[in-house]
Amino acid sequence: MTLSRRDAIKVSGTAVAGLSMGVVNPVNVLGQAAPQQEWPDQLVEGDLRVRAELPLNSDGSAPEHAASAAGDLVGTIWRFTSGEPPTDIDYDYNNLRIKLDSRGLAKVSGTLKFSDLEALPRHSMVTLLQCGAPQPTGIVKWTGVRFSDFADMIGVAEPAHYCRLISHDGYYIDEEMPTLRHPQVMLAWMMNDEPLPPVNGAPIRLVIPFRYGARSIKAISEITFASPGFSARIGE
């Protein structure tokens, strides 16, 4: 059974860790409805989710490693929210087409192509990708462009407070612009000097090495900029 990311958020951190390590059967986690309990009428103490360690530098950035440390990601990788890959993805980054909706917060909108990104300085880094659970995890070499260079290329203006990035399968994240402009944040299409495999986010993904892996959204299909009070709802 394949566990989707939307299913994953329904279970506890401990259960997710067990699923990642293969010691918990997904059917046992998702196949049984949680017992209905009356909501308490006062504050009660509960268990915190168990998370894997995410080692960071004192300034909050991610440690960077030597190229020789780069290797594969280990553990089960949840790729598609529906459990099945969309049929309309062209995994070749050379054919990249991303809907860019600046909503007046950048100089350009339209369809972002690989030729647009190819004109930017190429950047590589070797960092840890760590899921909130112990696995998947691994030190990986990423290659692409800095998000800050991309934002400057399209002329993102100061009123843009955050950005929504949407995957081909409908999964999305919202990130504040100061985070996205951090020099370690990338739009990457290469992993360990090879094109991203579909399971790792082809044709292009976000990489935020100082956040847990779920924030490094895969298979980006849409990018929208917004400010507080300016809705970025999907399809609007």
Tell me the residue range of the domain where 175 lies: 62-226
In-domain check, residue 235: no
- Hey, what are 223's tokens? 């990018």
Is residue 102 one of the residues assigned to a domain?
yes
Residue 57 covered by a domain = no
Which pLDDT does position 1 carry in this prediction? 45
Provide the pLDDT for residue 228.
82
Q: Do residues 81 and 10 make contact, with C-beta atoms less than 8 angstroms apart?
A: no
Contact 212, 105 (CB under 8 A): no
Which segments within the chain are labelled E, that is strand?
Answer: 97-101, 110-113, 123-130, 137-146, 162-167, 172-176, 186-191, 194-195, 205-207, 220-226
Asked if residue 147 belongs to a domain, the reply is: yes
| Residue 222 located in a structural domain | yes
Residue 104 amino acid letter: G
Residue 93 maps to a domain: yes
Helix or strand or coil: residue 153?
helix
Number of domains in the chain: 1
**Distance in angstroms (rounded) separating the CA atoms of residues 177 and 97:** 22
pLDDT at 27: 41
pLDDT of residue 16: 41
Q: What is the pLDDT of residues 183-192, one digit of tens each?
A: 999 999 999 9
pLDDT tens-digit profile, the chain (236 residues) = 444 444 443 444 444 444 443 444 444 444 445 567 899 999 999 998 889 999 999 999 999 999 999 999 999 776 666 666 666 789 999 999 999 999 999 999 999 999 999 999 999 999 999 999 999 999 999 999 999 999 999 999 999 999 999 999 999 999 999 999 999 999 999 999 999 999 999 999 999 999 999 999 999 999 999 998 655 454 44
Confirm whether 109 is domain-assigned.
yes
Q: Give the CATH number, domain containing residue 108.
A: 3.90.420.10
User: Is 121:153 a contact under the CB 8 Å cutoff?
Assistant: no
Amino acid at 146: R
The answer to whether the beta carbons of residues 107 and 154 sit under 8 Å apart is: yes
Q: What is the pTM assigned to this prediction?
A: 0.79
Q: Could you tell me if residue 51 is inside a domain?
A: no
